[in-house]
Chain A
Amino acid sequence: MKKAVVLDPRDNVATVLEDVSVGEEVSYKIENETKAIKALENIPRGHKVALRDIPRGNYVVKYGFPIGCATKNILKGEHVHVHNVLSLRTRKEE
């Protein structure tokens, strides 16, 4: 099975270490427990997969810290990247 890494137990995304195709299972460890998730999309090596549903406006969390907020509803197993996440620190003020 292909592998992903989770850097902090609070994270809601994992980084995949190989190219993952839609429908493939990806395994990851969180607090010494090995889990698996099914990819709903192709996810390139080094990119992030959602470990749970992240509703629009919620934080995307990696390293235990928010790295941005979801600009769309993101489903568990979806690719998390610039198409559905925006920086919290540097987004343009409305």
Chain B
Amino acid sequence: MCLEYKFEAYVRKDGQVGIRNKVLILPSVACVNHVASAIAGFFSNRDIVSVNHEVGCAQIGDDFRQSLSTLIGLASNPNVGAVLVVGLGCERIVPEFLAEEISKACSKPLECIVFQKEGGTIATISRGITIVQSLYQQILSERKEEVDVSFLKVAVECGGSDYTSALAANPAVGHAVDRLSDCGAKIVISELIELAGAEEILASRCENAELMSHIATAIDKYVKISKQYSGEELFGIFVPGNISPGNVQGGITTIEEKSLGAVSKGGFKCPVVGYLKYGERIPDKPAGLYIMDTPSYDIESVTGMVAGGATIVLFTTGLGTPVGNPISPVIKITGNGRTARCLQSDIDVDVSDVLEGQISLAKAGERIISEVLGVASGKLTKSESLGFTDAGVTRVRPRL
């Protein structure tokens, strides 16, 4: 079975496998976001991207370290072939230091320019364009090789959930990731509050009691925060603090219900093998399900998993969302027939025929795997074709 699951991809010097070959323009602080965007924008080339974010300065301790390691992780993602760090010059995340740390974490063409040294916006953009063109020329010679899915690191995400997410899209993704994990792929699930109430299910697939207790403690951290805030009336309906108004309108009542519906996108039988901090690198083995500590805000959750090295994202939605990612393709999957019809510009895979009783969840899982193989071989997802590059780094404490 696994033998059929092959695709052509970029095998990097360190053995990591990317399914895209991008030049990443990475600001070391939000102050130069516009400069980085302008450099990327010059090229009208979807393989040349900038990651806009809101971190890099007035941050200390664990908050500073998490932001720094997330930026290093994004640059290290195997979908990135080359990196240009764009710095301001006075920020906490010192640009030359960031570039140095990236070069230690992975081996790829890398340059760094600093706004205050280059002589302002126009000069920095102009120099940046020249450098990026040269970086792009260097990585164009990278040749694709045939690999199997054991080299894939797959993030699973859900957003804009309604009742169809739990009945069709999430379990269909679950069937897909069980098969991919059987073939050696690494799967990562996040959004810990959306695992509250599903601990028993995870525990039944986790052989390591210490690991499971670690995961349960991490989930509890979010439960405690959530307890401080029970919810409020929004537009005439009571909305609990830990689920969205759209969830409530869609029929989801409590976080436990949402979690039990959400956890199935992480599979039904693939083993729970690891716990990762926000943006922490997903190991190359063992295969199975890794649980990453992220908030339930989709953009930051996906950014964390991509910083951990996820090269493809399976994103289920009931109500629909356009969210993409600058580095890893995001495949949108819905079980809601109305959403699939009305949001054709954004949905990649429609599994609503599961709810109409026409196909089994296992068949829907196969449909998702075939899309994964297509996208891994270069097919553009809807959010890629739209050019969406959403990114956000999770903060752990207020700025100074």
Q: Which residues of A contact B (CB under 8 A)?
A: 5, 7, 15, 17, 44-48, 60, 62-63, 65-68, 80-83, 85-93
Known pairs A5-B167, A46-B163, A82-B248; A63 contacts B255 (CB<8 A): no
A7 to B240, CA, bound (A): 24
Known: A44-B251, A46-B164, A90-B254. 15 other contacts (CB 8 A): A15-B163, A15-B251, A45-B251, A46-B163, A62-B257, A67-B253, A68-B257, A81-B253, A82-B253, A85-B253, A87-B254, A88-B254, A89-B197, A90-B242, A92-B228
Known pairs A15-B251, A68-B253, A68-B256; A63 contacts B261 (CB<8 A): yes
Is B16 in contact with chain A by the CB < 8 A criterion? no
Known pairs A5-B167, A46-B162, A82-B238; A89 contacts B253 (CB<8 A): no
A1 to B260, CA, bound (A): 28
Using an 8 Å CB-CB cutoff, how does the interface string of B296-338 with A read, 1 for contact, 0 for none?
0000000000000000000000000000000000000000000
* Complex interface: chain B residues within 8 A of A91 (CB): 227, 230
* Complex interface: chain B residues within 8 A of A93 (CB): 227
Assess the B196–A90 pair: CB atoms within 8 A. yes
Assess the A15–B256 pair: CB atoms within 8 A. no
Is B226 in contact with chain A by the CB < 8 A criterion? yes
Known pairs A63-B261, A67-B260; A87 contacts B251 (CB<8 A): no
Is B101 in contact with chain A by the CB < 8 A criterion? no
Known pairs A91-B230, A92-B227; A86 contacts B197 (CB<8 A): no
Q: Which residues of B contact A (CB under 8 A)?
A: 162-164, 167, 196-198, 200, 223, 226-228, 230, 237-242, 248, 250-251, 253-257, 260-261, 355
Assess the A90–B253 pair: CB atoms within 8 A. no
A81 to B163, CA, bound (A): 13
Q: How far is the CB of A70 from chain B (nearest CB, A)?
A: 11
Q: How far is the CB of A34 from chain B (nearest CB, A)?
A: 14
Say what secondary structure dominates the interface of chain B: mixed
* Complex interface: chain A residues within 8 A of B261 (CB): 63
A82 to B196, CA, bound (A): 18
Assess the B250–A46 pair: CB atoms within 8 A. yes
Q: How far is the CB of A69 from chain B (nearest CB, A)?
A: 9
A69 to B42, CA, bound (A): 56
A5 to B335, CA, bound (A): 15
A48 to B261, CA, bound (A): 14
From A5, A17, A62, A92, contact of B260 by CB (8 A): A62
Assess the A65–B200 pair: CB atoms within 8 A. yes
The 10 closest A-B pairs by CB, nearest first: A46-B163, A46-B251, A87-B254, A67-B257, A47-B251, A68-B254, A63-B260, A67-B256, A90-B226, A92-B230
Q: List 17 A-B contacts (CB under 8 A).
A: A15-B163, A44-B251, A46-B163, A46-B250, A46-B251, A60-B253, A67-B254, A68-B253, A68-B254, A68-B257, A81-B248, A82-B238, A83-B238, A85-B253, A87-B256, A90-B196, A92-B228
* Complex interface: chain B residues within 8 A of A82 (CB): 237-240, 248, 253
Assess the A15–B200 pair: CB atoms within 8 A. no
* Complex interface: chain A residues within 8 A of B223 (CB): 89-90
Q: How far is the CB of B174 from chain A (nearest CB, A)?
A: 13
From A65, A85, A92, contact of B197 by CB (8 A): A65
Most chain A CB inside 10 Å of its own CB: which residue of B239, B240, B256: B256
A63 to B248, CA, bound (A): 18
Which residue on chain B has the smallest CB distance to residue A92?
B230
* Complex interface: chain A residues within 8 A of B355 (CB): 17
